[in-house]
Structure formats: C-alpha cells, structure tokens
Amino acid sequence: MLAPKLSSSRAKDGTTTDGRRSRVSGIDRALQILDHLHGRGEADGAYSIAKAIGAPLSTVYVIVDDLLEKNLLARTPDGSVWLGERLYHYGLAYARSLDLMKVARDEMHVLRTEAGETVQICGRDGDFMVVLDMADGPDHFQVASRIGTRVPLNWTASGRLLVAHLPEQERLDLFRRCTTASPTGKAETDPEALSRASVRAFGSRISIQAGESDFAVACIASPICDARGDCRATISIVLPATKAQRDSERYGALVRHAAQRIEERMGWRPLHAVLENDPMPVTDDP
C-alpha cells in the first residue's frame, strides 16, 4: 500500500529535514489523514491513523470530527472512517476538466458498442494501476475492478503498459519495489521478466493478461501515448478469458484502434491507418 504523501522538507512527525521541530498545520494533518486512507484503500480507525501519520491521537480525533462534519470523511458501521461524498464530487469536477478524460470517455463508449464487452480507462497512481472510468458490457459478466479500484502494476495488462516508457533502471526499480503476488497466484513477480514483458507489450501496442488478478477474467489493453511517447493512460476490454483466447486478434484490433483515435483527437499523433502493419497482439503471460 502507498505510504502517506508527505512534504520532502517535513516528516510526518513534524521534524524538518535539518532536524528542527516545526508545527504541522491543520491542513497538513488533514491531507495526511486523507492520503493515508487513499493509500490504504479501505476505512481505518482514528488510533491506527494517528499511529500511521505520527500525530497525537487527540489531534487526529479533532481533525477527523471536522472532516466528518464537512462530508470529507464518512463514518462506517464499525466506527472507522473512509473518504467522504464531497471528495467524490470534487473528483468528478476535476475529471470533467481534463480533456484527455473527456475524449477517452467518448471512445470508451464507442469501443463498448464495437466489442460488446466491458471497457475500462486506467491510469497510474504511484505503485498501483487505478481504474479511472468504466463502461459495462451488455451481458451479465461481472468485473471485480470498478471505478477507483487500485491494484499492483504487475497484476494487470494496463499496469505494464503504464510504466513501459520509463527508463529501464527506473522501471526495474519500480517493479522490485511494488511487485506482489496476485490472488490467483498467476501474476508474474520477477522484476526483470515484468520489465521485458512491459517493453514487448508497449512495442506491439497490445498487452494481454488472463487470470492473473481474477480467475477466468482476461484484459486486452492498449496504451494511450502523448506526443513524447509517454503512456498517459490505457484503454482496455475486460472479458471472459475463454472469449479472449478465442478471438484475441479481433479484440486486439478494436482496442488498438480506440487508443489511436484518442491520441489523434488529442493531437498527439497524425491521422493515419497503421493497423494493417501493426504487430499481432503479444500476450504478457509468462
């Protein structure tokens, strides 16, 4: 899980980098609490929060109560606290301001119609992949990863694409730090193998994984790259593994087309038809 995001000049206990003590503002403490919950990915109690961020329990109680009153936090049935509804509305407003998300959301719905399957837009959040948006397919196939889901980068097809443009050493260091075993036990955990698979998938503009994070579920993803060639997000089709194995070429072409349309609309690449000459989809499975 992600540690709270703290200023480089001030530690979580209020000690500055030169060893002096300084007062941590209420806003800093509030952000530390929100960052802790975001990184943890689930509700937590005040005592645990105080211990994690190095703050006095009395201070945490006061700030938590204030955040609850303002709907920035919400109380769970067991008495713990979680991110509140007001943050969700802020997030929606921010997402609406991003041109990339507007364009990607349009193409996500087009791809959902073309493929007849669930489609996701994913991005990177530190050591994790996060589902930024999602359009459910028409059938009753259930996908565990909903909007806001964060999973380790090595579990997913999108996760590998999101870091493929990084310098080799940075990519290796990242995988060494964040790689973890998946619930199915099928996700690759060797950093060097992950780094190589990441580069291969990026080169083919297709990354495929099946059964690594969820049993019998496959994901076929393509990178959305900016003008510098950096992967800003991914678009992917999530579907039963049997379908992916049976018709990976068609789904791969569809998702690659969708990623290219997003790049073209953003002005990150010229309009051109390249799919006929693109490599065939490459599976990331070891």
What's the pLDDT tens digit per position in 157-199? 999 999 999 999 999 999 999 899 988 888 899 999 999 999 9
Confidence at residue 142, expressed as pLDDT on a 0 to 100 scale = 67
Same domain, 138 and 259: yes
Q: Would you say residue 1 lies in a domain?
A: no
User: pTM for the complete prediction?
Assistant: 0.66
Cβ distance 124 to 243 under 8 Å?
Answer: no
Domain boundary residue among 87, 122, 140?
87
Residue 102 and residue 81 share a domain: no
Q: How far apart are CA 50 and CA 273, in angstroms?
A: 55
Range of lowest pLDDT (42-51, 92-101, 135-144, 269-278): 269-278
Specify the pLDDT at position 280.
Answer: 38
- Residue 191 pLDDT: 94
pLDDT at position 2: 38
Average pLDDT over residues 40-49: 93
Contact between residue 178 and residue 127 where contact means Cβ atoms under 8 Å apart: yes
Domain span at residue 78 reads 26-87
Output the pLDDT for position 144: 66
Contact 253, 203 (CB under 8 A): no
Q: Which of 42, 66, 87 is the last residue of a domain?
A: 87
